[in-house]
A and B are shown apart, each in its own frame.
Chain A
């Protein structure tokens, strides 16, 4: 018997995905991590990238997510992100727009978290390659 758990992906504007899954591969801030059922409770921030999960069939689903938070508690995984786009609908232009946004912020100069932005840009560029 397969162990399933609940996954919800919520973007700021709507609920993107809600259902039972077997595993989730999330792009954690300090490395990708895999969540299976009965995972210990945890809260982690995630970087822009691809979130993968499988619903039991062999087919994996992929969503492009921008940075956000993931919470795992009692076999309920909630992913809160700014944007989430289904993997097959990801357009490279979307990611490019995000990169330009970060670039704009980088060029304005008066920012404290320049390193963070630079890292974010790298993540986005990595995601662009995968798309």
Chain B
């Protein structure tokens, strides 16, 4: 039986833990709102970008088929997997669910004898993949100094990826992240960045013949890096919102657990205090009787 003092110390320590988790939950809630707003503001750009790429690609099919950036990448042998995780932990299963998805994809590709390279965004994913796949790492993006994801960050990543693509380091690039379904539910997903898939159904004007200025090829070459950067940007934004949502849920849980623990410990504390009092009384009474 722990002494009264020990119990008191434990109760205090759990109480201060609860304070911390409560504060983290509230911070995450505030950040989540911001991240969600940012993601929503960026959405029109991403949607329009996709529709322009689709319009463009479907109206210049013959050129599009030759363009190395476009296609379905079905018969490729070299894969680049981009694993986008958080810089910090304490956010429930956020990081490990992404890593788990990436690992299962790696296993699948290995069984098909494909060549795999890995680029990590965010420290946590790198730490988890480090043990098994260190030899496959080709780069890492550190986001710890970025308070908010900016398009510049996304652009830097995409420039790097496109340069590697042009060097022939890989033929298909997939990015792994957590899709933001709702505040309490984030779905680990993957998205194919390169080659850019275009969907003719998304083209709202497949019968229109466009005038291009300067010409189709140049526009394609200009727009594709932009669309890759945009995709990365929206993926990272969604990931950031998911991270905060996940952290909020995890911290909410932790706060509740701490509360339960405090209740239990307080009962223990009261019991042992009562036991001590009873004990003392018995001693006094039996001492008096002995006289």
Distance of B50 from chain A, by nearest CB (Å): 11
Q: In the complex, what residues of B have CB within 8 A of residue A43's CB? A: 52, 55-56, 210-213, 219
Residues of chain A from 28 to 61 with CB closer than 8 A to chain B in the complex: 28-30, 33, 40-45
**Is B52 touching A74 in the complex (CB atoms < 8 A)?**
no
**Is B211 touching A40 in the complex (CB atoms < 8 A)?**
yes
- In the bound assembly, the distance between CA atoms of A42 and B193 in angstroms comes to 26
**Is A13 touching B42 in the complex (CB atoms < 8 A)?**
yes
- In the bound assembly, the distance between CA atoms of A18 and B116 in angstroms comes to 44
**Is A10 touching B205 in the complex (CB atoms < 8 A)?**
no
- In the bound assembly, the distance between CA atoms of A41 and B38 in angstroms comes to 31
**Is B44 touching A69 in the complex (CB atoms < 8 A)?**
no
Distance of A63 from chain B, by nearest CB (Å): 15
**Is A44 touching B52 in the complex (CB atoms < 8 A)?**
no
Distance of A53 from chain B, by nearest CB (Å): 18
**Is B151 touching A29 in the complex (CB atoms < 8 A)?**
no
Distance of A107 from chain B, by nearest CB (Å): 17
Q: In the complex, what residues of A have CB within 8 A of residue B213's CB? A: 28-30, 33, 42-45
**Is A71 touching B219 in the complex (CB atoms < 8 A)?**
no
**Is B52 touching A80 in the complex (CB atoms < 8 A)?**
yes
**Is A41 touching B48 in the complex (CB atoms < 8 A)?**
no
**Is A71 touching B55 in the complex (CB atoms < 8 A)?**
yes
**B168 close to chain A: CB less than 8 A:** no
- In the bound assembly, the distance between CA atoms of A44 and B45 in angstroms comes to 16
Q: In the complex, what residues of A have CB within 8 A of residue B219's CB? A: 43-45, 69
| Contact among A33, A69, A73 with B223 in the assembled complex (CB-CB below 8 Å) | A69
Q: In the complex, what residues of B have CB within 8 A of residue A30's CB? A: 213-214
The residue on A at minimum CB distance from B234 is: A12
The residue on B at minimum CB distance from A82 is: B151
- In the bound assembly, the distance between CA atoms of A15 and B210 in angstroms comes to 24
Q: In the complex, what residues of B have CB within 8 A of residue A80's CB? A: 45, 48-49, 52, 226
**Is B209 touching A41 in the complex (CB atoms < 8 A)?**
yes
Residue among A13, A15, A28 with most chain B CB within 10 A: A13
Residues of chain A from 55 to 104 with CB closer than 8 A to chain B in the complex: 68-69, 71, 73-74, 78, 80, 82
- In the bound assembly, the distance between CA atoms of A87 and B261 in angstroms comes to 60
Residues of chain B from 32 to 81 with CB closer than 8 A to chain A in the complex: 38, 41-42, 44-45, 48-49, 52, 55-56
The residue on A at minimum CB distance from B230 is: A12
The residue on B at minimum CB distance from A46 is: B213
Q: In the complex, what residues of A have CB within 8 A of residue B218's CB? A: 29, 45
Answer whether A11 and B45 are a contact pair too, CB < 8 Å, given A44-B219, A71-B52. yes
Residues of chain B from 222 to 249 with CB closer than 8 A to chain A in the complex: 222-223, 226, 230, 233
Q: In the complex, what residues of B have CB within 8 A of residue A33's CB? A: 213
**A2 close to chain B: CB less than 8 A:** no
- In the bound assembly, the distance between CA atoms of A12 and B154 in angstroms comes to 11
**Is A13 touching B55 in the complex (CB atoms < 8 A)?**
no
| Contact among B41, B212, B222 with A42 in the assembled complex (CB-CB below 8 Å) | B212
Residue among A43, A69, A80 with most chain B CB within 10 A: A43
Distance of A123 from chain B, by nearest CB (Å): 14
Distance of A110 from chain B, by nearest CB (Å): 10
In the complex, besides A30-B214, A71-B48, 20 extra interface pairs with C-beta distance below 8 angstroms are A12-B42, A12-B45, A12-B233, A13-B41, A13-B42, A28-B213, A42-B210, A43-B212, A44-B211, A44-B212, A44-B214, A45-B214, A45-B218, A45-B219, A45-B222, A69-B219, A69-B222, A74-B205, A74-B208, A80-B52
The 6 A-B residue pairs whose C-beta atoms are closest, nearest first, are A44-B213, A42-B211, A12-B151, A14-B41, A41-B208, A10-B45
